[in-house]
Amino acid sequence: MIDSRETAPGAAHRDMYLNDAGQVVREWSLDGPLSAAIPGTPAALHHLAEHYGQLPLKVTLAPAISHAREGFLVSPRYQRFSQFRLAALRASPAAAKIFLHENEVPELNSLIIQTDLANTLERIAREGREGFYRGPVAQMMVDAVQLDGGIWTLEDLANYQLVERQPIHAQIGDFTITSAALPSAGGILLVSMLKQLELLGYQHANPQQQHHYLAEVMRRAYRDRNLYLGDADFVGIPEHLTTQAHAQQQITDIDHYQASNSEQMWDAFATKGQDTTHFSIIDAEGNRVAATLSINYPFGSGYVAAGTGVLLNDEMDDFSVQPGTANAYELVSESANAIEPHKRPLSSMTPTFIENDSRVAILGTPGGSRIISMVLQGALAFMEGDNAQGMVSRSRLHHQFLPDRIQLESPGFSTSAAADLRQRGHTVHVLNRQFGNMQVVVRDKRSGLTEAASDPRGEGSSAVLFQTVADADQ
């Protein structure tokens, strides 16, 4: 696993988003350059090209450079997101010049051109990571950030390092799971929930019972996320969270017919990602990639470093700004995820492989705090024999321990399904929309047949450019 998660700047500290009265000022961790962690994606692109790819960056970055220089058309989704982040974009003249039209949401099908970004990408294509973390681009970013209230330094950029980590591995029945390790909570929670569901007999339950079980195992897994998880390079993480024994302990207080109460489960330890992207890829030789990357909120911090075209993230909001307080995705975490210099914030990104002797699936999705629960439901669909299109199309529910409620997509769940959950004691919030943008590739290991599907909820697309034949004699 290539961990190119952002890191906190060297001047970051635990109380940096608290006012003089000790109260959290949420805008400070969401908007503008103070909310931005040190980016890792350019380092990852360089590392992949140097150590794993067969193509140089000047080839792999060419499509992105073309999109930036020639522009892309404004869609209804773009309009919704830019309206949502209008104030933050307006606060950054460089961002407003690129992403707005006369300081307003651009008209449908108007063109968004990013000339400065194209120049920055061309420099990275020529110079690799040095073209971003040192030299003119780095200097322009630091100058802009510091001028506008941020705390980046040239040393923060020059010293950024990615880490190669062992991914999370688990065996669930006949299926092998490979998923993201910390600082992403995704793999740990995914394995924990799958093991709990296996012990509960999920696959043999009726649909109403399955909905109840899903909510209950999500509740317990997200409680573990809140209590224990953070950057393992900085804090000690319990080793038992993915074990069978822990899954067995987790389900001991699940009532098969009645909802649990999250507040009552908040034990003695205790005192939303919409601008995320996922790619699922497999090549003719069977090499596979599940890649999730993010700038957190729609349009990240809303801030562009003048002259670079680089739209900064607001990943600092993924830290626990104050123990027990919720972030933009209503996730609550404790001191394990507190802000420290050079630390990586806890993530929900869950790029995943699932395979048995017959098939392999590569999947992942954007979606903030819902990413892990969505990948869980996609994994279950695959394990039940679904194809790629079925995996991305399945209706989704979500529970994250706090707030204590189930979110149901609409359309997707019948009135009777919601009523059954309420009768069991669940608080049910039926959304007036669907969520997620899952991207899936499935290959049959015996025939070599490959299928790909892009979530109908999003704007992505899928393509199968070749079909392999498993038998080399054919």
CA–CA distance from 388 to each of 187, 280, 318, 451, 456 (Å)?
A: 21, 11, 31, 6, 12
CA–CA distance from 95 to each of 54, 273, 314 (Å)?
A: 35, 20, 14
Using an 8 Å Cβ cutoff, are 147 and 4 in contact? no
Strands (E), 154-196: 163-164, 168-172, 175-179
CA distance 48 to 293: 14
Structural tokens at position 281:
């890829």
Of these residues, 178, 276, 292, 365, which one is catalytic?
Answer: 276
Element (H, E) at 439: strand 439-444
CA distance 449 to 464: 10
CA–CA distance from 313 to each of 19, 305, 366, 440, 457 (Å)?
A: 22, 11, 15, 26, 24
Structural tokens at position 255:
């009532």
CA distance 321 to 316: 8
> Residue 394: which residues within 8 A CB-CB, separation 6 or more?
377, 378, 381, 386
Task: Let me know if 276 is a catalytic residue.
Answer: yes
Beta carbons within 10 angstroms of residue 208's beta carbon: 15
Structural tokens at position 266:
């908040």
Q: Which residues pair with 236 in a beta bridge?
A: none
**Residue 245 carries which side chain, given as an amino acid letter?**
A
Using an 8 Å Cβ cutoff, are 14 and 325 in contact? no
Using an 8 Å Cβ cutoff, are 84 and 298 in contact? yes
Residues recognised as catalytic = 276
